[in-house]
């Protein structure tokens, strides 16, 4: 049976996280205070502190959660390579889904926020990197190992090749959105075209030589 007390606590925690996420993304860390978080969440300030302890801990929890959700979604959307699936199909699927998931105003706002607070909270950058780029690169490395065994990839340094593909896909779109604002996020057709061109370039360098 569901425990009513645990259910209420979970609901309050989710309300706090949702409110704090909106405020942090809109105002930044320093301009957000716990009174505002409590008011927006519909709980007392004591409840906020009971769940998270400090504003810093709440902030870290949000960064970890948002980047983790994006990584989880990519794993759900793109199946690991299996025998018979062409490498080009896998890489196109991976690149297109990664761009669709990451290139959103919300995640770009989070990236800007983390960069702005990186010196104050060095742990932020580490968490964003671990849950974001490093997770994607590690998964790509494992996929490329599968395709190297099949003879579809020629690369001694699989992690280097995976990193190259990751940033070939993400580099320009992310950089433009970070520096030029959300209006610089490409539309779906442009993102798909960029993903496919990234795959073509990558396979020209690392694919099986005829």
pLDDT tens column, 106-163: 999 988 888 888 888 877 778 778 888 899 999 999 999 999 999 999 999 999 999 9
In which band, very low, low, confident or very high, does the pLDDT at 64 lie, cut at 50, 70 and 90? Answer: confident
Radius of gyration of the chain (CA): 20
Same domain, 124 and 92: yes
Q: For the segment 26-35, what is each residue's pLDDT rounded down to a tens digit?
A: 988 889 999 9
Residue 37 contacts residue 23 (beta carbons within 8 Å): yes
**Which residue range(s) make up the domain with 71?**
59-206
Please tell me whether residues 35 and 78 are part of one structural domain.
no
Residues 124 and 170 in one domain: yes
* CATH number, position 9: 1.10.10.60
Is residue 1 pLDDT above 80, yes or no? no
Q: Are 34 and 48 members of one domain? A: yes
Distance set, CA 68 to CA 48, 91, 122, 181 (Å)? 22, 21, 18, 23
| Residue 73 exposure: Cα atoms within 13 Å on the Cβ side | 14
Q: Which pTM value belongs to this model?
A: 0.85
Q: Are residues 45 and 149 in the same domain?
A: no
The answer on 11 and 111 residing in a single domain is: no
In terms of domains, do 83 and 41 share one? no
Question: What's the structural domain count of the chain?
Answer: 2
What is the pLDDT at residue 84?
Answer: 82
Q: How far apart are CA 51 and CA 57, in angstroms?
A: 10
Distance CA 70, CA 108 (A): 12
Same domain for 95 and 175, yes or no, is: yes
Instruction: Yes or no: say if 139 and 81 are a contact pair by the CB < 8 Å rule.
Output: no
Same domain, 192 and 110: yes
């Amino acid at each position: 049976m569901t425990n009513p007390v645990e259910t209420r606590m979970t609901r309050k925690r989710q309300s706090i996280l949702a409110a704090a996420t909106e405020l942090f993304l809109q105002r930044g860390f320093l301009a957000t205070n716990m009174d505002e978080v409590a008011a927006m969440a519909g709980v007392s300030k004591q409840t906020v502190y009971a769940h998270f302890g400090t504003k810093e801990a709440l902030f870290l929890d949000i960064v970890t959660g948002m980047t983790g959700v994006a990584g989880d979604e990519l794993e759900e959307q793109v199946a690991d390579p299996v025998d018979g699936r062409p490498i080009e199909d896998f890489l196109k699927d991976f690149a297109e889904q990664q761009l669709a998931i990451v290139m959103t105003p919300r995640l770009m706002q989070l990236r800007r926020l983390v960069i702005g607070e990186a010196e104050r909270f060095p742990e932020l950058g580490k968490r964003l990197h671990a849950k974001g780029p490093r997770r994607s690169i590690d998964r790509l490395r494992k996929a490329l190992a599968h395709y190297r065994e099949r003879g579809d990839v020629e690369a001694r340094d699989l992690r280097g090749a995976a990193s190259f593909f990751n940033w070939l896909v993400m580099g320009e779109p992310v950089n433009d959105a970070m520096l030029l604002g959300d209006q610089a996020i490409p539309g779906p057709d442009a993102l798909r075209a960029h993903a496919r061109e990234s795959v073509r370039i990558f396979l020209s360098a690392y694919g099986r030589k005829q």
